[in-house]
A = this chain, B = another copy of it.
Amino acid sequence: MINSRLAVAIHILSLISMDEKTSSEIIADSVNTNPVVVRRMISLLKKADILTSRAGVPGASLKKDPANISLLEVYRAVQKQEELFAVHENPNPKCPVGKKIQNALDETFESVQRAMENELASKSLKDVMNHLF
């Protein structure tokens, strides 16, 4: 299972899109987490050019319309790991299977990851928010 960061990021972005003055404390209260966790997430979303925020000023502002923020860009903003599936480290190169398994899996997993990412790309923050009301 993939971590809950995409879920939390979407929650944060939804609140901000409704009220750009929502502080990290209020957001944390809605998400049920710590304000620092929210601020860290906002920092990642900022690096990804999804929103802006300034020290000392409560809240944050989306840089784009929710309809133009795809879940894929949010996902990539908050996800360290590029790869969807982990592979096992150091398979035995003396075994013909161990020697080539990582390459074989890379090719296979890539298309699966692409399928998932295409679906994420097809959905926007607005699409999710439409389910909120």
Contact = CB atoms under 8 A, between A and B. Distances in A.
A69 interface: no
A7 B87 contact: yes
Q: In the assembly, how many copies of this chain are there?
A: 2
Main secondary structure, interface of A, reads: helix
B132 A101 contact: yes
A11 interface: yes
A129 B115 contact: no
A51 interface: no
Interface in A37-58: none
Contacts of A2: 1-2, 84-86
A124 to B, nearest CB: 10
